[in-house]
Amino acid sequence: MSYKVFVDGQEGTTGLRIHEYLARRPDIEVLRIDAEKRKDNAERARLLNAADVAFLCLPDAASREAVSLVDNPNTCLIDASTAHRTVPGWTFGMPELAPGQRDAIRASKRIANPGCHASAFILALRPLVDAGLVPADAAVSATSLTGYSGGGKKMIEQYQEGGDVRLDAPRPYALGLAHKHLPEMAAHTGLQQPPVFLPVVANFYKGLAVSVPLHLSQLKPGTDASALRHALAERYAGEAFIRVMPLGGDPATVEEGFFDVQACNDTNRVDIFVFANAHQALLLTRLDNLGKGASGAAVQAMNVHLGVEESLGL
Ligand X SMILES: CC(=O)N[C@@H](CCC(=O)OP(=O)(O)O)C(=O)O
Per CB under 6 A, 296 contacts ligand NDP: no
CA distance linking residue 44 with residue 50, whole number of Å: 10
DSSP conformational letter for 12: S
223 binds, among ligand NDP, ligand X, none (CB under 5 to 8 A by kind): none
Per-residue b or e along 141-177, where b marks 16 or more CB atoms closer than 10 Å to that residue's CB: ebbbbbbbbbbeeebbeebeeeeeeebeeeeeebeee
Per CB under 6 A, 183 contacts ligand X: no
199 binds, among ligand X, ligand NDP, none (CB under 5 to 8 A by kind): ligand X
Find the shortest distance in angstroms from Cβ 212 to ligand X. Answer: 17
Q: Is 264 a catalytic residue?
A: no
153 binds, among ligand X, ligand NDP, none (CB under 5 to 8 A by kind): ligand NDP
| Closer of 274 and 294 to ligand X (Cβ) | 294
Q: Binders of ligand X among 75-134, rule CB under 6 A?
A: 81-82, 115-116
Pair 4, 22: CB distance under 8 Å? no
Give the relative orientation of helices 152-161 and 13-22 as an angle to the nearest 10 degrees: 100
Among 135, 152, 183, 246, binds ligand NDP (CB under 6 A): 152
Catalytic residue, chosen from 57, 76, 116, 264, is 116
Q: Binders of ligand X among 269-298, rule CB under 6 A?
A: 293-294
147: phi then psi, degrees, rounded to nearest 5: -75, 160
Q: Where are the beta strands (DSSP E) in the chain?
A: 3-8, 28-31, 53-56, 76-79, 91-92, 110-112, 141-147, 171-172, 196-202, 208-215, 242-244, 270-276, 280-287
Find the shortest distance in angstroms from Cβ 207 to ligand NDP. Answer: 11
CA distance linking residue 117 with residue 196, whole number of Å: 13
| Closer of 81 and 211 to ligand X (Cβ) | 81
Residue number with the shortest CB distance to ligand NDP? 12
CA distance linking residue 305 with residue 165, whole number of Å: 45
201 binds, among ligand X, ligand NDP, none (CB under 5 to 8 A by kind): ligand X
| Closer of 180 and 230 to ligand X (Cβ) | 180
| Residues that are catalytic | 116
